[in-house]
Amino acid sequence: MGRRPRQGPPRPPAAPADIQLASDPQPDLEHEQTVEAAAYYDVDLTNRLAERVEFFQCRFKKATLAGSHLAKVRFTDCLVETSDLSNLRAEKGTLERVKLSDCRMTGLAWSDGLISDATFTDCKIDLTNWRFARFDVVTFEDCNLSGADFTDADLRGASFTGCDLSGAQFHNAKMAGTRFRTCELEGVGGIANWEGAIVHPDDLLGLSYVLAGALGIVVRETDR
């Protein structure tokens, strides 16, 4: 018997008792570094290479991690706003009790990672790689996830509301309990794996056309 995803909304990040601004506007990151209660406002962390970095109760605003390679990075109880995580590589990374809003994450790679109690709001998450990742109580709201790759991901604890999922791939994904509401689903791949997914009635017709198209079925009216 498989894991049963926890129900309910994601738990919010715990607020730090105190928080310090990152002293250096271009700080370095070291392997296995632990950063606690730091505020990264207008900070440039592009193209960093570090493994097993851990951020606890940190705040990111107008920060950039673009192009960095942070394998096994861990964000716990963090807020990430208006930041740039595009092309960040974070294989086997962890997001736990994290809120991300208005972020640019194009090309992000979070393969084989864990995303738990996370919310993504108004984020650009297109062409991202979530292969083999596990989503445990995660919500995506009003996000652009076009071309995202969820191959072999465990999405049983994920919900998508108002998202653009056009061209997203779901091959071999676990979908029992995954929720979709008012999403753009054109060109979605691996739709035969959607067994057990929960679809809003408003989305059903659109989804059925997508499915028909994916199967090569011709939809035509009766008198033609």
Residues near other proteins (CB under 8 A): 191-192, 194-201, 204-205, 207-209, 211-212, 215-222
Is 46 exposed, middle or buried (CB count within 10 Å of its CB: 0-12, 13-18, 19+)? middle
Residue (8 or 216) nearer to other proteins, CB: 216
Least gap, CB of 115 to other proteins (angstroms) = 23
Least gap, CB of 175 to other proteins (angstroms) = 9
Structure tokens at 158: 């994920």
Structure tokens at 195: 């067994």
Residue (29 or 211) nearer to other proteins, CB: 211
Least gap, CB of 176 to other proteins (angstroms) = 9
Least gap, CB of 201 to other proteins (angstroms) = 5
Give the residues across from 94 on adjacent strands. Answer: 74, 114
Residues 198/180, Cβ–Cβ less than 8 Å: yes
Least gap, CB of 7 to other proteins (angstroms) = 14
44/84 Cα distance (integer angstroms) = 9
Please give the helix or strand (H or E) that residue 116 lies within, else none. strand 114-121
54/3 Cα distance (integer angstroms) = 27
Give just the sign of the alpha carbon dihedral 204, 210, 214, 216. positive
Residue type, 163: C
Residue (17 or 216) nearer to other proteins, CB: 216
Residue (13 or 157) nearer to other proteins, CB: 157
Residue (45 or 207) nearer to other proteins, CB: 207
Least gap, CB of 185 to other proteins (angstroms) = 11
11/203 Cα distance (integer angstroms) = 27
Residue (17 or 215) nearer to other proteins, CB: 215
Give the residues across from 38 on adjacent strands. Answer: 20
Give the residues across from 119 on adjacent strands. Answer: 99, 139
